[in-house]
Amino acid sequence: MKLLILSNGHGEDEIAVRIAEQLQLLSNQLELVAFPLVGTGKAYHSLNIPIRGPVQSMPSGGFIYMDGRQLLGDVQKGLLQLTLAQHQTVRRWSLEGGRILAVGDILPVLLAWLSNTDYAFVGTAKSEYYLRDEQGWLPQTSSLERRLGSYYFPWERWLMSRPRCKAVFPRDTLTSKILQQWPIPVYDLGNPMMDGLENQISSTGNISKESLTVVLLPGSRAPEAYRNWEIILQSLENIILALKGYRITFLAAIAPSLSIDSFQVPLLAHNWHPKPLEQLHISLNDPNALAFTYNHKINLILSQNAYTECLGLGNIAIAMAGTATEQFVGLGKPAIIIPGEGPQFTLQFAQNQTRLLGCSVILVPQPQQVGHTLKAILNDPDRWQEIDIVGKRRMGKPGAALRIARLTLEKLF
Q: List, in sequence order, every residue forming a beta bridge with 168; answer none if it has no partner.
A: 121, 186
What is the arrangement of strands in the sheet containing 212-217, beginning at the earlier edge strand? 273-275, 290-294, 298-303, 248-253, 212-217, 316-319, 335-337, 361-363
Q: Are strands 132-133 and 31-36 parallel, antiparallel or unpaired?
A: unpaired
Alpha carbons 113 and 107: distance in angstroms, whole number: 10
Given this model, what pLDDT does residue 76 score? 41
Given this model, what pLDDT does residue 198 score? 77
Q: List, in sequence order, every residue forming a beta bridge with 376; answer none if it has no partner.
A: none
Nearest Cα to 178, choosing from 208, 141, 229, 210?
141
Relative orientation angle of helices 347-357 and 381-395, to the nearest 10 degrees: 90
Classify 137 as helix, strand or coil.
strand
CATH architecture of 2-196+398-412: 3-Layer(aba) Sandwich (3.40)
Given this model, what pLDDT does residue 65 score? 44
Given this model, what pLDDT does residue 210 score? 76
Give me the residues of the chain with pLDDT under 50, please: 58-68, 70-78, 203
Q: Is the model's pTM score more than 0.75?
A: yes
Query: Domain coordinates of the chain in residue numbers?
Result: 2-196+398-412, 212-395
- 2-196+398-412 and 212-395 agree in CATH topology: yes
Alpha carbons 167 and 172: distance in angstroms, whole number: 15
Alpha carbons 90 and 82: distance in angstroms, whole number: 13
Q: Are strands 132-133 and 136-137 parallel, antiparallel or unpaired?
A: antiparallel
Q: Which CATH number fits domain 212-395: 3.40.190.10, 3.40.50.2000, 3.30.460.10, 3.30.360.10?
A: 3.40.50.2000
Given this model, what pLDDT does residue 201 score? 55
Given this model, what pLDDT does residue 77 score? 44
